[in-house]
């Protein structure tokens, strides 16, 4: 929601409550985080700073935060609470108001501070949440209601469209599920979980209507189901093609693929003996994006799944925020509960979706193997959107991934993520690797060690100065020139760690200034300045000579005469 002055003044007329709080002054980042926890646990809402508390409320104003201040607030709240807030600045009567939009907690979960405080609203303040309330909410997660599993009748013939049932069998055969396709009709439906028996009574589940239903069945049992298919060319405001579909999910998945494929041109290039074809949007990646949107959408909420095809990207969005403990920061490593588990299980058995975490990994791997950016997620309290970017792809990176596969050394999705990061940024700390791969630092180190063993990365420096850089095999395949700090864009601080590492290799031999310049690709003046600074700090020692006699060592390897210098 975009909050402007008019919307702010409407809020000012409302009573404060569990989801709305006014403060006359700007709170500290810690206090903002605590209010985000309390308001989020009550279902989400607003913390408004710069407005008086009592009615009739007046705009008091605050000192205008800079964009950097706002980013620090967002980062601080995210670090302290794992909540992604939105900051809205409103300028009214020459005064500034900051309104913080807080998302609702996911079903079955609670927001808490880093210190472990579960907070809820009370009056105009906050208080700790009673243990009984915490247990009740957590029980929601242990026993979530599956909307798609609701029993809607006992006669499948009144629900299932024969045309859609034939579509199901055709898809099964196309996906190599011939054994399922040959089953008698009721046995097939039962194997997919769409019908079941309770004693002698047949039960038809809502998922049967959603996947295979007639128009009447869908209208009755999935009234909020709608998928908007849009394709844009140069004008991103006016689609060249638009379709609103309320067809059953299997039909929608196939129709979405047809709409995408119209714009899904393929570029080919030669990599050694192999011809590599790279589509704008890799098929397995976009199929997972569409299937996940239909699986995870909230069918009890009004809205539509939107598939938007642009010249440079594909966006797939669905109603309903994150669910089951998943968010942007852990989606690769968390096996979440799915909002519509029965639909998810059926699509998985049909061959149109993977288990949640595997499907997301597949999306990432397909994009990165094609030399394209990783999928990008953005979310609000009520929606999640994934973007697959086309743009120009990295032929050399795609070729490297293909060559590894041809040698039987397939790169995992985490290998690809870290190599892609190195390709783009030229260096990587262990902490950065941990964040990028969504793994612990210990696991990130293991992944990096595996990459190093293949010659795709190298480790440089020690302690805090340690960095990972691209290795010789990667440099060869990525057609990069030079192989040391300057070409890698490495900072001077990192140069210190790399030099220590190189001098450790040379031991008593040491390095001359010319060798260091050739190794580092820094200029003469810059190298001289850096070496002098390190000598002054005692990090390295020099021969004290110039010209051919100049040489540098680590203190423990230096000749006695140089140690005393």
Highest mean pLDDT among 80-89, 122-131, 270-279: 80-89
Residue 228 C-alpha from the chain's centroid: 23
Instruction: Tell me which of 16-25, 260-269, 344-353, 400-409 is least confident.
Output: 400-409
- Over the range 187-211, which residues count as b (16 or more CB within 10 Å of their CB) and which as e? ebbeebbbbeeeeeebbbbbbbbbb
What's the CATH code of the domain at 416? 1.10.10.10
3-state secondary structure 378-425: EEECCEEEEEEECCCCCHHHHHHHHHHHHCCCCCCHHHHHHHHHHHHH
Query: Is the residue at 492 inside a domain?
Result: no
- Phi, psi at 308, each rounded to 5°: -115, 120
pLDDT over 50 (residue 139): yes
pLDDT over 50 (residue 483): no
Residues 257 and 199 both lie in one domain: no
What's the CATH code of the domain at 362? 3.30.565.60
Number of domains in the chain: 5
Mean pLDDT of 320-349: 82
d(CA 534, CA 550): 15
Residue 539 has, within 13 A of its CA and on its CB side, a CA count of 19
Residues 199 and 262 both lie in one domain: no
Residues 412 and 381 both lie in one domain: no
Question: Residues of the chain with pLDDT > 70: what percent?
Answer: 90
Mean pLDDT of 75-97: 90
d(CA 423, CA 418): 9
Residues 387 and 248 both lie in one domain: yes
Residues 416 and 503 both lie in one domain: no
What's the CATH code of the domain at 538? 1.10.10
Residues 454 and 534 both lie in one domain: no
Confidence of residue 391 (pLDDT cuts 50, 70, 90): low
Of the residues 221, 240, 266, the one at which a domain ends: 221
Contact 127, 18 (CB under 8 A): no
d(CA 380, CA 83): 11
Alpha helices, H only, 235-282:
249-262
Mean pLDDT of 402-429: 86
Confidence of residue 488 (pLDDT cuts 50, 70, 90): very low
The domain in which residue 374 lies consists of 227-392
Query: Is the residue at 270 inside a domain?
Result: yes
Query: Is the residue at 385 inside a domain?
Result: yes
d(CA 315, CA 290): 9
Quick one: tokens of 110?
A: 């609670």
Residues 257 and 380 both lie in one domain: yes
- Please name the helix (run of DSSP H) or strand (run of DSSP E) that holds residue 236, with its range, or none: none
pLDDT value of residue 489: 45
Confidence of residue 144 (pLDDT cuts 50, 70, 90): low
pLDDT over 60 (residue 143): no
Mean pLDDT of 87-101: 91
Residues 201 and 232 both lie in one domain: no
For residue 473, the tally of other CB atoms under 10 A from its CB is 16
Query: Is the residue at 494 inside a domain?
Result: no
Residues 381 and 235 both lie in one domain: yes
Confidence of residue 480 (pLDDT cuts 50, 70, 90): low
């Amino acid at each position: 929601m975009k909050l402007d002055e008019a919307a702010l003044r409407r809020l000012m007329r409302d009573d404060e409550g569990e989801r709305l709080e006014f403060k006359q002054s700007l709170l500290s980042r810690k206090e903002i985080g605590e209010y985000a926890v309390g308001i989020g646990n009550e279902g989400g809402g607003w913390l408004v700073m710069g407005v008086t508390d009592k009615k009739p409320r007046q705009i008091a104003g605050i000192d205008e935060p800079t964009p950097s201040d706002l980013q620090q607030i967002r980062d601080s709240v995210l670090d302290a609470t794992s909540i992604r807030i939105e900051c809205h600045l409103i300028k009214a009567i020459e005064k500034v108001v900051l309104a913080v939009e807080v998302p609702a907690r996911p079903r079955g979960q609670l927001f808490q501070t880093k210190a472990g405080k579960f907070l809820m609203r009370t009056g105009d303040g906050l208080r700790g949440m009673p243990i009984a309330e915490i247990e009740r909410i957590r029980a929601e997660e242990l026993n979530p209601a599956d909307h798609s599993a609701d029993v809607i009748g006992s006669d499948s013939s009144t629900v299932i469209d024969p045309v859609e049932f034939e579509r199901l069998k055709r898809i099964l055969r196309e996906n190599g599920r011939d054994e399922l396709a040959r089953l008698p009709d009721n046995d097939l439906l039962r194997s997919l979980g769409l019908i079941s028996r309770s004693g002698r009574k047949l039960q038809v589940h809502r998922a049967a209507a959603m996947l295979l239903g007639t128009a009447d069945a869908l209208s009755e049992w999935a009234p909020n189901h709608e998928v908007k298919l849009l394709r844009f060319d140069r004008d991103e405001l006016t689609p060249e093609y638009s379709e609103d579909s309320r067809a059953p999910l299997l039909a929608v998945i196939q129709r979405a693929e047809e709409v995408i494929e119209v714009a899904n041109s393929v570029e080919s290039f030669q990599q050694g003996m192999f011809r590599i074809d790279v589509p704008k949007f890799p098929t397995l990646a976009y199929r997972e994006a569409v299937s996940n949107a239909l699986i995870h959408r909230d069918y009890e909420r009004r809205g539509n799944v939107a598939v938007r095809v642009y010249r440079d990207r594909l966006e797939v969005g669905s109603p309903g925020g994150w669910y089951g403990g998943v968010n942007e920061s852990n989606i690769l490593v968390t096996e979440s509960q799915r909002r519509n588990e029965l639909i998810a299980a059926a699509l998985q058995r049909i061959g149109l979706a993977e288990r949640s975490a595997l499907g997301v990994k597949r999306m990432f791997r397909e994009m990165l193997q094609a030399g394209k950016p990783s999928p990008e997620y953005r979310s609000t309290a009520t929606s999640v959107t994934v973007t697959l970017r086309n743009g120009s792809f990295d032929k050399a990176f795609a070729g490297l991934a293909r060559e590894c596969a041809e040698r039987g050394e397939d790169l995992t999705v985490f290998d690809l993520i870290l190599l892609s990061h190195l390709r783009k940024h030229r260096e990587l700390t262990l902490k950065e690797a941990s964040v990028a791969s969504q793994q612990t630092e210990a696991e990130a180190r293991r992944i990096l060690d595996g990459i190093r063993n293949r010659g795709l990365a190298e480790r440089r420096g020690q302690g805090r100065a340690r960095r990972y850089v691209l290795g010789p095999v990667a440099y060869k395949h990525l057609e990069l020139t030079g192989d040391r700090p300057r070409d890698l864009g490495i900072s001077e601080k990192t140069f210190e760690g790399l030099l220590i590492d190189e001098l450790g290799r040379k031991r008593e031999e040491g390095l001359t200034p010319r060798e260091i310049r050739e190794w580092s690709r820094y200029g003469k003046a810059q190298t001289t300045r850096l070496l002098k600074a390190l000598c002054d700090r005692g990090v390295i020692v020099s021969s004290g000579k110039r010209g051919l006699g100049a040489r540098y060592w680590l203190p423990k390897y230096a000749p006695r005469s140089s140690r005393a210098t």
